[in-house]
Amino acid sequence: MCASPATARRDVSGQELVQLMEAVVARENMRLALKRVESNKGSAGVDRMPVEALRSYLRAHWPRIKEALLAGEYQPSPVLRVDIPKPGGGVRQLGIPTVVDRLIQQALHQVLQPIFEPHFSAHSYGFRPGRSALQAVQQARAYMAEGRRWVVDIDLEKFFDRVNHDMLMARVARRVADKRVLKLIRRYLQAGVMADGLVSARKDGTPQGGPLSPLLSNIVLDDLDKELEQRGHRFCRYADDCNVYVRTRRSGERVMESLTRFVEQRLKLKVNRTKSAVDRPWRRKFLGYSVTFHRRPRLKVADESVKRLKSKLREKLRRGRGRSLATVVADLSKLLRGWVHYFRLAQVRGVFEDLDKWLRHRLRCLLWRQWKRSHTRARNLMRRGLDRERAWASATNGRGPWWNAGASHMNQAYPKRYFDRCGLVSLLDELRKLQVTA
C-alpha cells in the first residue's frame, strides 16, 4: 500500500524515511499538486505546453511518467531562462520548468516540506507555512526596541545561482533515505537551461521559478540559522535576506567578519561586500520597510519601496494616455491595494498621503494632456463648475500639463472626492481601514 504525504514521515524506530517516492506519486498527493499548479497558472516551459493542457496530457501519459518515477529513471526537461529586470538595476534570472516538471516538483514539495519544516529555525520566515515577511518585520522592530540599534545586513551574492549541489544534496540526505528521490532532486538541479534556443549545462545553483526551489534554499540556509542560534544572536531571515541585530558597532563588525567567513567557507556561498553593511537600521531597509530613529522605533515604508511603486505607476499611466480615466483607475486599483496591504504595518503615514497627492496630480496631468486643445480644456473645466472667465484663462495660460495639473483650477475641478467616486484607491484611507480592522 502506498504511503500518503501525511503518513510518510518516520517509522517508530526513528530510521530514515522509506518508500518516499510512493508517497510522492500517491493519488491524493498528485491531485493536490495538480490543483496547485493549475491555480498558480504561470508560463509554459521549453515544450510550450500551457497549464490548461496539463490535465489532458496526464490522462494519456501519467502511467508512463509514474513508472519512470518509481523506477528512479525519470529525466526532467531543461528549464526555460527568463530574465526579469530588478527594481534596483540588473536582471534576475528565472528558470521556468515545463508544466509536467512543475507538477512533479510540487508533489515532491508537498511530501518533503513536512519532513524538514519541524527542524527549521523559528527565526526563518520565508517560504514557510504560517509565516510571512510581515512577521519578520515585526520581529526585527522588536529587537530594535530592546536596544539593539545596530544591524548586520548580510547580502548573499547571486544566492540562487551559487548553491553548491553536493553540499545541498548532503543536507537533503540527512533526512531523506529514498535514493530515487535524491536522484530526482539532483537531476532537477542539473537540468539544463535553455536560452535563445540553446541548452547549457548547470553545475551550481537552484533556479528560481520551480516549486521546489524555495524549500531547497531553506535547507541550505538552515545551517546559517543554526550557527546564529548557537552563538545566541537575535536575527531574522527571509529567504536569502538576513539581518542580525546587535547593541554596538564593534560587535556588529565582529559578527559580520565571522559570518562572512562561515558563509563562504562552510556554505560555499559568497557575501556581497558592497551591499552588506553594519549600520543603523533606519539607514537600511528590510523587506521593503525601514524604521524611525526613536528609542521605540516606528515602522515606515523604505524610500526605495516608494520609488519602486512610483516607477510602476508611471509605466501604467504612460499606457493610459489614450484610455478613459475610469479604465486607468481600474488598472491601478489592484496594484495600489496590494501595495498598501503589504505595508499595512507602517506607523508613519505621511508617505501614504504624499503618494495619494502625487497620484492625483499625475491623473489630472493625464486629463490635461488628453484634452489637447484650449477650447476642450475650457469646456471640461466649465463642466466641472468653473465659471467661463476662469475656465478660459486657465485653458489658455500657456503653461505645461504638469504645472496645470497642480494648479488651483484643476484641483478645484477634480478634487479628491471626484477620484474617490471614480473608484481610485486612496492609500491613506485604505491604510486606516486596514489598521482599524487589524
Task: State the Cα–Cα distance between residues 88 and 101, nearest whole angstrom.
Answer: 31
Mean pLDDT along residues 431-438:
90
DSSP label at residue 184 = H
Task: State the Cα–Cα distance between residues 93 and 83, nearest whole angstrom.
Answer: 5
Of the candidates 404, 307, 382, 291, the one whose C-alpha atom is nearest the C-alpha of residue 345 is: 291
Quote the percentage of the chain above a pLDDT of 90: 83
- Residue 7: what pLDDT? 41
Residue recorded with cell 491524493: 28
Of the candidates 78, 108, 97, 79, the one whose C-alpha atom is nearest the C-alpha of residue 181 is: 108
- Residue 197: what pLDDT? 75
Could you tell me if 150 and 282 are in contact, meaning their C-beta atoms sit under 8 angstroms apart?
A: no
**Residue 290: pLDDT over 80:** yes
The three cell numbers of residue 300 are 515606515
| Beta strands 198-200; 234-238: pairing state | unpaired
- Residue 204: what pLDDT? 82
- Residue 200: what pLDDT? 75
pLDDT digits (tens, 9 = 90+) for 312-357: 999 999 887 778 999 999 999 999 999 999 999 999 999 999 999 9
Could you tell me if 144 and 244 are in contact, meaning their C-beta atoms sit under 8 angstroms apart?
A: no
| Beta strands 241-246; 234-238: pairing state | antiparallel
pLDDT digits (tens, 9 = 90+) for 150-184: 999 999 988 888 899 999 999 999 999 999 999 99
Could you tell me if 274 and 160 are in contact, meaning their C-beta atoms sit under 8 angstroms apart?
A: no
- Give the three-state DSSP class for 15: coil
**Residue 18: pLDDT over 80:** no
Could you tell me if 171 and 222 are in contact, meaning their C-beta atoms sit under 8 angstroms apart?
A: yes
Task: State the Cα–Cα distance between residues 180 and 185, nearest whole angstrom.
Answer: 9
- Residue 3: what pLDDT? 43
The three cell numbers of residue 11 are 517509522
Task: State the Cα–Cα distance between residues 63 and 378, nearest whole angstrom.
Answer: 71
- Residue 215: what pLDDT? 96
Instruction: Say how far residue 324 (Cα) sits from the centre of its chain.
Output: 31
- Give the three-state DSSP class for 227: helix
How much of the chain is in helix, strand and coil states, percent to nearest 5? 55, 10, 35
Q: How confident is the model at residue 135 (pLDDT cuts 50, 70, 90)?
A: very high
DSSP label at residue 164 = B
| Beta strands 79-85; 193-195: pairing state | parallel
Q: Please tell me which residue, 42 or 382, carries the higher pLDDT value.
A: 382
The three cell numbers of residue 360 are 492625483
pLDDT digits (tens, 9 = 90+) for 240-261: 999 999 999 999 999 999 999 9
**Residue 94: pLDDT over 60:** yes
The set of residues, in sequence order, having a beta carbon less than 8 Å from that of 210 and lying 6+ positions away, is 79, 95, 97, 101, 102, 105, 188
Instruction: Say how far residue 294 (Cα) sits from the centre of its chain.
Output: 29
Mean pLDDT along residues 19-46:
95
